[in-house]
Amino acid sequence: MNDTKWEQYGALAGLVFVILVVVGAFITWTTPPSPDDSFRDIASYYEEHTGAIKAGAFLTGLAAVAFLWFLGSLWSTLRRSEDTRRLATIATGGGIVGLILAVTASAVNATVAIALNSRDAIQGINPKFFYTLSGVIGGMGNFGVAVLVAATGVAILRTRVFPAWLAGPSLVIALGWIVSGLVVATDATAIFTVGFIVFLLWLVWVLLVSFCMFRPQAAEPEAAVTPTPAPPTTP
């Protein structure tokens, strides 16, 4: 099996990742509270959606596996050109940092949901603190994802590894991730909302990149063979 086939499998992994993330994020069919909501609101969120939060954490773990496969194929695609090999490493590194922090944030959320099942643990838990902690950890991951998207956008500008029209949106989304990273310094609802919008746009970006990797590359036309003129015949 050639390397192109494996890259196409990685593209399919990007699709699987998006599906798992969407299902895991919206499994409660409700908007999660923002960090500046009251203690009671956040506690109610954990109490009313305990099962969904735990199921979402499990789906996040599965999504992480798919995302790593997607990253591997993206790295392989970007490093084909000498001009983008460094960018391939930078993009992959950013993606891994973002993934680790996102999984950690999900684990913190799941820990609170599991602990709230125990009556002995309820009095020792501050749901608002851990919800905020989860948001800050995930917010730090925003910077890693920004590196992933920005490095890919620059690679597109340099070598057209993907369609040129994808470069601009990539850089805009990267900037959006940086802005949403302000969640580590404030609990303002506006920043929370910006992060949610950027997250949705990024999922669309992953789907577009996956499509570009899956689409078979056009074969280069064969060079025309110029017939060699026959040597002159001596009389």
Kindly report the backbone phi and psi dihedral angles of residue 159, in degrees, each rounded to the nearest multiple of 5, phi listed first.
-130, -5
Predicted local confidence at residue 131, as pLDDT: 85
Contacts 24+ apart (CB under 8 A), 208-212: 208/166, 209/14, 209/74, 209/152, 209/162, 209/166, 210/11, 210/12, 210/13, 210/14, 210/15, 210/18, 210/70, 211/11, 212/11, 212/162, 212/163, 212/166
Predicted local confidence at residue 124, as pLDDT: 61
Q: At residue 5, what is the residue type?
A: K
SS3 28: coil
Predicted local confidence at residue 229, as pLDDT: 54
Q: Which residue has the higher pLDDT, 54 or 205?
A: 205
Query: Residue 164: pLDDT above 80?
Result: yes
Q: At residue 156, what is the residue type?
A: I
pLDDT tens sequence across 32-56: 777 667 777 787 788 788 888 888 8
pLDDT tens sequence across 51-96: 888 888 899 999 999 999 999 999 989 988 888 899 999 999 999 9
Q: Which residue has the higher pLDDT, 2 or 22?
A: 22
pLDDT band at 118 (very low <50, low <70, confident <90, very high): low
**Residue 92 burial (10 A CB sphere; 0-12, 13-18, 19+):** buried
Predicted local confidence at residue 93, as pLDDT: 96
Q: Which residue has the higher pLDDT, 51 or 97?
A: 97
Domain segments of the chain as ranges = 3-214
Predicted local confidence at residue 222, as pLDDT: 38
Q: Give the chain's mean pLDDT.
A: 83
Predicted local confidence at residue 130, as pLDDT: 87
**What is d(CA 103, CA 67) in angstroms, rounded to the nearest whole number?**
11
In 3D space, the residue among 230, 216, 219, 175 whose CA is nearest the CA of residue 198 turns out to be: 175
Q: Which residue has the higher pLDDT, 35 or 16?
A: 16
